[in-house]
Every structure is written in C-alpha cells, then in structure tokens.
Amino acid sequence: MSLISENIKYLRKQAGYTQEQFANQVGIKRSVVGAYEEARAEPRLQTLMSIAEVLNVNVDDLISKDLTGGKELAQREKVKILSITVDKEDNENIELIPQKAAAGYLNGYSDPEYLSELPRFHLPMLPKNATYRAFEISGDSMLPIPSGSIVIGKYLESVDEIKNGKTYVLLTEREGVVYKRVFNYIADRGKLYLVSDNKSYSAYEIEPKDVIEVWEAKAYISIQFPDPESASELSLDKIAGMVMNLQHEVNEIKRNITD
C-alpha cells in the first residue's frame, strides 16, 4: 500500500465510517474509495481536499505523513484470525476471488467489509468443519486445469501444515495470489518450493515469511473438460527431482559467487 492509501483507510475506520458512508460524505462512489485504499488509484486534488475535510486532517499531512503511527501496518502483520462472511443461518460462505479482484485481495483479505463485497456461494459436498475460499486462476502453468477455472481451497492455519506434492493457493506478499504444487522444505532449508504442473514453467523458491494465507486445494470448477492427451505426465517423484535440481543449481550459483 502507498502512504496515502494507508492514511485514508486508517483514518476512515478511526472516524467510524464504512466505505459506503465515507463515499457519501466525500461525494464519490464506494468502489472509488476501495480503489484509493487498495492503492489502485490516487485521488485528484479536489477529491483530496474533500477527503481531508471529512477526516479533519491537513491535505499535506494526508499525502506526506504516516498518520497511522505504524498501527495499520502492524495490525496487518499480526492478523492471525481469518475474516469470513456468513449467510442468514450463520453458515460460512465460500467467497470467490475473481482474477480481476486478486490484486485487491492482497490488501483486503482481513477486512470483513471487503469480503462482503465479493461473490459468495455454498457447495453441499464439502465437509462443514472447515473454512473454504474460491480463487479464479489465470494462465496455463497448472494444466490440465485450464485458465479461468475456480479452485476451492481449505484454509490452513500455518505453512507448517503444507504437505509435499499437494497443490495450494497461496496469498503471498510479493506475488499476490498463486496456485502451485508446493514442497515444504522449511525444516531442512527454510524454504517453500513452488512447482508448476506445466513443464514449460520453472520451479522457484519463496520464504515462508512471505506467505500470508495457505489454502489447500480441495476441488475445482471449470467449463472446460481436461484433454487427456495434453495432461501433464509428471509424477510426484519427477516433480521432487525438479525441486532438488533447482536447489542444486542455487547452491552452485552461491558457491560461484563466494569463490
């Protein structure tokens, strides 16, 4: 997030406004407030003056000072409780994160107000003792699951619960929402290795601290049926071998740099 987006979001909440109420006070649309707070857009000068007036703050301070005192960032870093929405019978919804909303989800994942704006549905075949979320995937890195498919994930409390070779949707600080086959080498090397089922894509590693949320893939919905002739022929053993080769290459590079 940018400084101004952090300030607007923090001060708006401190003043007790919902995004809808704040939008009405400023004279803009609620969706525009969301875009400002997610740093997808920046307000023009006239709108900035209106925002500053509603929030009772100086325009210069709004755009140049951290008015949260670091509180907004600290709150995001400490969030461990998953925000959810429920229906009229208090049953948990499955919120859908479309491709176009994936970037916004990185900033709004812990905000119940943001989640309440997302499409929601239920699937009766899923066990009731878990929390689920749905993500629309893009690209062909996980073929035969095609781009545009909806992957439904079960929420996991920690990256330590990741099992080698299973597929997961990860919300990460650097890349946002990614869907990959994951290998958990935290205990041995302090890394997670992300592998695509499409052999055209290279495996890569990430730090566990960069992972905000972990969703274990449990089902997917698609209007396209997989083509058996184009299905990946990679076994888990082969994928594990790819990961080991990646680690070997990384070690070689490190040795060459040291030498």
Residue-range domains of the chain with CATH: 3-78 (1.10.260.40), 130-258 (2.10.109.10)
Question: Which pTM does this prediction carry?
Answer: 0.61
Per-residue confidence (pLDDT) for residue 149, from 0 to 100: 95
pLDDT tens figures, 211-223: 999 999 999 999 8
Q: Percent of the chain scored above 70 by pLDDT?
A: 85
pLDDT tens figures, 65-93: 888 875 544 444 434 457 788 887 778 89
Per-residue confidence (pLDDT) for residue 30, from 0 to 100: 86
**What does the H/E/C string look like for the chain?**
CCHHHHHHHHHHHHCCCCHHHHHHHHCCCHHHHHHHHCCCCCCCHHHHHHHHHHHCCCHHHHHHCCCCCCHHHHHHHHCCCCCCCECCCCCECEEEECHHHHHHHHHHCCCHHHHHCCCEECCCCCCCCCCEEEEECCCCCCCCCCCCCEEEEEEECCHHHCCCCEEEEEEECCCEEEEEEEEEEHHHHCEEEEECCCCCCCCEEECHHHEEEEEEEEEEECCCCCCCCCCCCCCHHHHHHHHHHHHHHHHHHHHHHHC
